[in-house]
Chains A and B, each alone.
Chain A
């Protein structure tokens, strides 16, 4: 029963799982960078991915710090301010992750193919690589367009609807509005 109702505990578990995954990514990328330090064509995409992974670790750590300071037995205004900040932080992290992920597609392909299968993706040619970069760039506006245009037609509580709301920026707007409401009450 507790599992179903305790939202904060669920969030705590989710943040822990995210942190473990992100740290594992940083470690693996560190290993890759160490092995391919002399080859610029692998080093550059690996560093880009590593920076992305480190940014995710920092974002999750910040959320964990805010969550750790939440004591539901504290004064309502203070707790609500913290919860709204946490919500804003989570939405911004998700939004950042989703919007940067398509750009990370090519570095991930290059590093993943070399690190896991020993395949040199550069051998596929410049045109193929350029097509992948364009694909990554095109995904972002297309995703935003579909999320804004058709997101509201999805079932209200579905995970897809929540994702569409985050990509379209609707969740961010709602979180900012709620935070402002709390600040107005404090004034």
Chain B
């Protein structure tokens, strides 16, 4: 396979998984413009790293890894500059079913998700994406049982916090 064909194929694979990039960007950025910037940043890194993809993991797993690494790094960079770049509940909302009527309990849930650190957000994003524990572990670099434990802890924590939070 010549270089041009390989590159075309790579771009086609990126296109097929574009939704993944949008979701990762949505999980770490509130503003449209920031989301676009982040997606562009991720695409550049995917392109730069394409020769390092050796097929040992699925293409989507590799894409998730690059996308999350870029998103978390960008998030930390912006957070350290005290920029308003954080997970809006509207972002997570886009991962779940749309809500017709504003739901205060749901807003409390998303508010609590907003407060999670970037790695736990990644974990929750992958869980909401219905990835298997094995794949989540492979993407994040933790064991399958650790994934289960962490998800259970997050659920428990969110449940407690929501129960304690006053619903306005």
A interface majority secondary structure: helix
A83 touching B52, Cβ below 8 Å: no
A178 contacts across to B, CB distance below 8 A: 76
A71 contacts across to B, CB distance below 8 A: 49, 52
B52 contacts across to A, CB distance below 8 A: 71, 73
Count of B interface residues, CB-CB < 8 Å = 33
Interface residues of B in 53-78 (CB under 8 A from A): 53, 62, 65-66, 68-70, 72-73, 76-77
Shortest distance in angstroms between A170's beta carbon and chain B's nearest beta carbon? 9
A1 touching B44, Cβ below 8 Å: yes
Stretch of A17-25, A27-35, A43-51, A179-187 that contacts chain B: A179-187
In the complex, residue of chain A having the shortest beta-carbon distance to the beta carbon of B48: A6
In the complex, residue of chain B having the shortest beta-carbon distance to the beta carbon of A185: B119
A7 contacts across to B, CB distance below 8 A: 41, 73, 77
Count of A interface residues, CB-CB < 8 Å = 28
Q: How far is the CA of A72 from the CA of B66 in the complex (A)?
A: 5
Q: How far is the CA of A77 from the CA of B150 in the complex (A)?
A: 14
Q: How far is the CA of A40 from the CA of B62 in the complex (A)?
A: 59
Q: Is B87 an interface residue (CB 8 A)?
A: no
Q: Is A79 an interface residue (CB 8 A)?
A: yes
Q: Is A5 an interface residue (CB 8 A)?
A: yes
Shortest distance in angstroms between B73's beta carbon and chain A's nearest beta carbon? 6
Interface residues of A in 77-128 (CB under 8 A from B): 77-80, 83
In the complex, residue of chain A having the shortest beta-carbon distance to the beta carbon of B80: A174
Q: Is A142 an interface residue (CB 8 A)?
A: no
Shortest distance in angstroms between B139's beta carbon and chain A's nearest beta carbon? 6
B73 touching A156, Cβ below 8 Å: no
Known A75-B140, A77-B142, A80-B69; judge A2-B44 contact (CB<8 A).
yes
A-B residue pairs in contact (CB < 8 Å), sample of 26:
A2-B47, A5-B40, A5-B44, A5-B45, A6-B48, A7-B77, A8-B45, A72-B66, A73-B49, A76-B68, A76-B119, A76-B122, A76-B141, A77-B140, A78-B141, A79-B65, A156-B81, A157-B83, A162-B81, A171-B80, A178-B76, A181-B117, A182-B119, A185-B117, A185-B119, A186-B142
